[in-house]
């Protein structure tokens, strides 16, 4: 069966205004402001939005719950961290929100850097971190789909645990879909066995192709016992009415980033494997494939802001279709100002991408 493509956006739950060049308005993170964005997503063809996590930001699950209550079809992709949550507590919270929203919850499991000490957590080395993540993902899935669950692992334990309310299957959906990222060998082993969707950053097509092939082989080698792993792309899409205008505006925005940048050019020593892969792309050129712009990463563009797909709606749609041809079915896009781009890209880009 062919998997239908899904298109989500990004809602910034930030304490400070002006995230990645967003319009710095009063009340930028108020419930009213964020609700306007969520409702615009519903009105302009988007499925929902990723809501990021990290200590020092508004609590992601609380934001997602509030926005879900104020919308009708908006599906939050809620980023959460093992360690910040215990598995049974999280499984119960997510099951409750999923029940109250008629099955709109999606979960993004994050194992990257955070200020762990601030909330009393510690992860140890990489093997410990991903071992814990693997247990967390396996256990919450069991809690959602089984009753009277008992589990004694290296990191978590539950005894005779039944989460209420019980989740009800809707076609092939038996529980909230689990998204996961990470490019290290340890992360990919977790994804190959436990994730529903592996999210990639905006790498060139050849890099994504190679990683998809490797993860499919790894899933087989590790005897994955779940439905086949699906694949997603998290990237900035810089869309303008014409190709020329898009590149003029993109280069101007990078020039402004360069003026404001205080980025330590040796900062790649401390970043995760996936982010380092993006930063290393700069050595291959400012523009890769047809329109993958790597220059933003030179001046502090992190995560999805490290590389941009730049062009007219047709240019960007053609590039996204090439990722889809590789097997990508879940797209998480964004650009700033967030509200303006929700509307522009929803109206101009998404119609070109419908299956």
Instruction: Give domain status of residue 50, yes or no.
Output: yes
| pLDDT at position 355 | 65
Measured in whole angstroms, how far is the alpha carbon of residue 117 from the centre of its chain?
24
Q: Cis omega before residue 144 (within 30°)? A: no
Instruction: Give domain status of residue 279, yes or no.
Output: no
CA distance 301 to 304: 8
Total structural domains in the chain?
1
Q: Cis omega before residue 337 (within 30°)? A: yes
pLDDT per position as a tens digit, 231-241: 999 999 999 99
Containing structural domain, residue 88: 6-235+312-352
CA distance 7 to 345: 11
Q: Cis omega before residue 315 (within 30°)? A: no
Question: CA geometry: angle at 8 spanning 7 and 11, to 5°?
Answer: 160
Q: Measuring CA to CA, how many Å separate 288 from each of 226, 284, 294, 319?
A: 35, 8, 8, 11
Measured in whole angstroms, how far is the alpha carbon of residue 161 from the centre of its chain?
29
Q: Which residue has the tokens 């719950």?
A: 65
Instruction: Give domain status of residue 104, yes or no.
Output: yes
Instruction: Give domain status of residue 342, yes or no.
Output: yes
| pLDDT at position 266 | 45
| pLDDT at position 150 | 98
CA distance 93 to 183: 29
3-state secondary structure of 71: coil
Instruction: Give domain status of residue 307, yes or no.
Output: no
| pLDDT at position 283 | 76
| pLDDT at position 265 | 46
Contacts of 160 (CB under 8 A, 6+ apart): 148, 149, 150
Phi (first) and psi of residue 267, to 5 degrees = -65, -15
Contacts of 259 (CB under 8 A, 6+ apart): none
pTM confidence score: 0.94
| pLDDT at position 270 | 45
Q: What is the mean pLDDT of each run of 10 residues along the chain (355 residues)?
A: 83 83 83 97 98 93 98 98 96 98 98 86 86 97 98 97 95 96 94 98 96 98 98 98 98 91 50 72 86 90 87 98 98 96 98 89
User: CB count, 10 Å around CB of 42?
Assistant: 16
State the chain's mean pLDDT as an integer.
Answer: 92
Looking at residue 66, which CATH number applies to its domain? 3.20.20.30
Instruction: Give domain status of residue 270, yes or no.
Output: no
Instruction: Give domain status of residue 161, yes or no.
Output: yes
- Nearest C-alpha neighbor of 313 from the set 287, 282, 335, 288: 335
Instruction: Give domain status of residue 297, yes or no.
Output: no
CA distance 107 to 202: 20
| pLDDT at position 269 | 43
């Amino acid at each position: 069966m062919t998997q239908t493509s899904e298109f989500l956006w990004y809602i910034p739950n930030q304490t400070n205004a002006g995230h990645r060049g967003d319009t710095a308005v009063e009340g930028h993170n108020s419930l009213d402001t964020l609700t306007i964005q969520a409702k615009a997503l519903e009105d302009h063809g988007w499925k929902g939005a990723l809501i990021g996590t990290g200590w020092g930001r508004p609590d992601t699950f609380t934001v997602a719950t509030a926005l879900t209550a104020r919308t009708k079809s908006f599906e939050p992709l809620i980023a959460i961290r093992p360690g910040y949550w215990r598995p049974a507590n999280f499984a119960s919270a997510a099951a409750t929100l999923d029940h109250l929203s008629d099955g709109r919850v999606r979960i993004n499991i994050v194992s990257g850097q955070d200020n762990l000490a601030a909330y009393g957590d510690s992860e140890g080395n990489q093997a410990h971190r991903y071992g814990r993540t693997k247990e967390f993902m396996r256990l919450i899935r069991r809690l959602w789909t089984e009753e009277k669950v008992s589990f004694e692992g290296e990191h978590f334990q539950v005894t005779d645990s039944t989460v209420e309310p019980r989740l009800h299957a809707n076609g092939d959906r038996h529980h909230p879909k689990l998204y996961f990222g990470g490019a290290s060998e340890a992360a990919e082993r977790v994804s190959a066995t436990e994730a529903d969707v592996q999210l990639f950053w905006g790498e060139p097509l050849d890099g994504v192709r190679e990683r998809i092939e490797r993860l499919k082989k790894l899933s087989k080698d590790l005897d994955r016992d779940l439905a086949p792993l699906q694949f997603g792309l998290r990237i900035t899409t810089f869309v303008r009415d014409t190709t020329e205008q898009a590149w003029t505006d993109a280069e101007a925005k990078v020039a402004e980033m360069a003026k404001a940048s205080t980025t330590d050019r040796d900062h790649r020593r401390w970043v995760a494997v996936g982010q380092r892969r993006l930063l290393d792309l700069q050595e291959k050129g400012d523009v890769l494939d047809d329109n993958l712009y790597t220059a933003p990463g030179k001046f502090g563009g992190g995560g999805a802001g490290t590389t941009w797909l730049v062009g007219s709606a047709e240019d960007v749609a053609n590039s996204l279709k090439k990722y889809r041809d590789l097997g990508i079915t879940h797209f998480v896009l964004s650009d700033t100002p967030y509200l303006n781009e929700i509307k522009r890209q929803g109206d101009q880009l998404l119609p070109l991408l419908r299956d």
